[in-house]
Amino acid sequence: GAVVSQHPSWVICKSGTSVKIECRSLDFQATTMFWYRQFPKQSLMLMATSNEGSKATYEQGVEKDKFLINHASLTLSTLTVTSAHPEDSSFYICSATHADRGNQPQHFGDGTRLSIL
């Protein structure tokens, strides 16, 4: 089945650091990738939708200058948390799909746990 790889799985860094998270589709071309944030014991919150070759569409309340998304190729999207602060600590998950796979399940990465000290 389709595999989505997310890296790193865990990051601990100091406040003010910028952190980049990668999301790769390993066996299919992902025209669309989604970035989610999940707080403890809560469901997923969609942050942004990323289409290959175009600017990401951010959900209301998500700062695009804070959470930079790049989807430059059909197999890779990155989320950069700029000047991270403790309130940015969370679990970030990506998912990927392709325009021809709309009737198939979305596939998710294993998530990245971000802890800002």
Question: Which residues of this chain interact with another protein, rule CB under 8 A?
Answer: 6, 32, 34, 42-44, 46, 49, 57, 91, 93, 95, 97, 102-111, 113
Residue 111: CB minimum distance to another protein, A: 4
By CB atoms closer than 10 A (0-12, 13-18, 19+), residue 91 is middle
Q: Which is nearer to another protein, 10 or 18 (CB)?
A: 10
Name which of 69 and 109 has its Cβ closer to another protein.
109
- Looking at the Cβ atoms of 44 and 82, the one nearer to another protein is 44
Rounded CA separation 32/46 (Å): 13
- Closest approach, Cβ 113 to another protein, in A, equals 7
Question: Does residue 99 sit in helix, strand or coil?
Answer: helix
Q: Which is nearer to another protein, 43 or 87 (CB)?
A: 43
Whether the CB-CB separation of 34 and 56 falls below 8 Å is answered with no
**CA-based nearest residue to 80, from 31, 103, 47:** 47
Smallest gap, in angstroms, from Cβ of residue 16 to another protein? 26
Is the separation of the CB atoms in 33 and 50 below 8 Å? yes
